[in-house]
Amino acid sequence: MKPLLLLGCLLLGLMQYRLWWGDNSLAEYFHLEHQIAEQQQNNDELDARNQALKEEILDLRSGKEAIEERARNELGFIKKGETFYRVVGGEQRSMTVSNN
């Protein structure tokens, strides 16, 4: 009976070793699960960016409003009859309060 009990404990110990430290262990499983979650989040962000780019492409192909908006923002174009004001920021003055 003792050798059978010893053999059972030995087998249980071997299975525990593989579970915690061997190939495909629980630690490796949780690490891979974390990597999958990070990659899924990265993929979702890239999908959102791709969707925004697709919408911008469709907008550029379909109308002049998007082209006009880009020309205004990136190149500074203005229409006839419009007045362009450029606000240039200067140094900000700091006020000091003295307690006399």
Q: What is the pTM of this model?
A: 0.48
Q: Which residues of 68-84 are buried (b: 16+ CB within 10 A; e: fewer)?
A: eeeeeeeeeeeeeeeee
- Joined tokens for residue 21: 């430290």
- Helix and strand counts by DSSP (H, E) for the chain: 3, 0
Q: Are the beta carbons of 25 and 18 closer than 8 angstroms?
A: yes
Q: 57-97 pLDDT, tens per residue?
A: 887 788 777 778 778 878 878 888 888 777 887 776 665 65
Report the percent of the chain where pLDDT is more than 90: 25
Q: 34-54 pLDDT, tens per residue?
A: 999 999 999 999 999 999 999
